[in-house]
């Protein structure tokens, strides 16, 4: 089960070369998720987090449920029948 706790924004000073390597591994726009995953695995292995720990769900969008947002809008014609667009 996922927690509904918000994420906390923090700032760390990290070598630019390390950041570039992380971006290359994670893919464009996915560095935060990648780093969070690496840290979770590390903390689970060092017993600082339980082995069943799950990351928070993304609250700013992310993947859509299949079919969500892909529905065609229907209008009603003069005869009262739906018209697909």
Query: pLDDT of 27-62, one tens digit each?
Result: 988 999 999 999 999 999 999 999 999 988 766 655
Spatial distance between the Cα atoms of 25 and 19, rounded to a whole number of angstroms: 10
User: How would residue 2 be classed by pLDDT, with cut points 50, 70 and 90?
Assistant: very low
Spatial distance between the Cα atoms of 13 and 59, rounded to a whole number of angstroms: 26
Q: Which of 3-7, 14-18, 22-26 has the lowest mean pLDDT?
A: 3-7
Do residues 43 and 34 lie in contact, with contact meaning Cβ atoms separated by under 8 Å?
Answer: no
Q: At what angle do helices 16-26 and 31-45 cross, to 10 degrees?
A: 100
In this prediction the pTM is 0.59
Question: What is the SS3 assignment for 83?
Answer: strand
Spatial distance between the Cα atoms of 61 and 5, rounded to a whole number of angstroms: 16
């Amino acid at each position: 089960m996922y927690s509904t706790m918000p994420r906390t924004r923090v700032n760390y000073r990290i070598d630019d070369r390390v950041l570039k390597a992380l971006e290359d591994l994670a893919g464009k726009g996915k560095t935060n998720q990648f780093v969070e995953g690496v840290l979770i695995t590390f903390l689970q292995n060092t017993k600082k987090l339980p082995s069943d720990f799950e990351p928070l769900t993304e609250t700013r969008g992310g993947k859509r449920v299949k079919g969500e947002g892909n529905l065609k809008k229907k209008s009603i014609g003069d005869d009262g029948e739906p018209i697909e667009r």
